[in-house]
Amino acid sequence: MRRKQFLNTPDEINDDAMSQQLQASLGPGLLSTEATNELTNRLIQHLPSTIEGMMRSLGEGWQQVDLIEWCSKTVFELSNFAVMGSTFPRDEQMYKDLIQFEDNLMMVCKMPELSLRKEQALARMPLTSTNQFYERGMEACSVVSMRCQVRSFPPTRLTSF
């Protein structure tokens, strides 16, 4: 899966030290009360401005919207702010790329790597955007910051969290 969908190189996959560090960061990072509280607080902090901005984008008067799409974009905005910080790109293309990446996730597991050119090309798009964002600096939550410190490969190549 790391090679097929997250595009890790064979060197990264075979780097046992990095894999062990990533695994070790799960408990204190993702499962800790402090990390959960931090993410919740960041999300709540950004909630009013996100809702206001999305309402402004609809314009004046009554508008018909796809509720699932609207909620999905709201969750995208809020969760990325909570996890990656206020400078994370929230443009329409990044949204579409990440939704496509998520949609492909389970399908890619079942397919041979040889037939995944299109899916891997689609996976490169959000990874490239995220890498550019990472290089410009980010206000990531402690979980992401902890995982970025684990990386043993060159810092100019961000692959996955």
- Model pLDDT for residues 39-59, shown as the tens digit of each residue: 889 889 989 998 898 888 888
Both tokens assigned to 144: 């992401």
Q: Is residue 106 part of a domain?
A: yes
**Residue 154 pLDDT more than 60?**
no
Does residue 30 or residue 114 have the better pLDDT? 114
Please give the model's pTM, rounded to 2 decimal places: 0.65
Q: Is residue 5 part of a domain?
A: no
d(CA 105, CA 26): 20
Domain that holds residue 135: 10-150
Q: Is residue 52 part of a domain?
A: yes
Does residue 44 or residue 129 have the better pLDDT? 44
pLDDT in the model for residue 29: 63
pLDDT in the model for residue 48: 92
Reported as a pLDDT band with limits 50, 70 and 90, residue 28 is low
pLDDT in the model for residue 148: 66
Q: Is residue 93 part of a domain?
A: yes
Q: Is residue 4 part of a domain?
A: no
pLDDT in the model for residue 153: 43
Q: Is residue 3 part of a domain?
A: no
- Report the domain count for the chain: 1
**Residue 60 pLDDT more than 70?**
yes
**Residue 69 pLDDT more than 50?**
yes
pLDDT in the model for residue 151: 54
d(CA 111, CA 30): 29
pLDDT in the model for residue 149: 62
Q: Is residue 157 part of a domain?
A: no
Q: Is residue 159 part of a domain?
A: no
Please state the separation of Cα 69 from the chain's center in Å.
18
d(CA 123, CA 134): 17
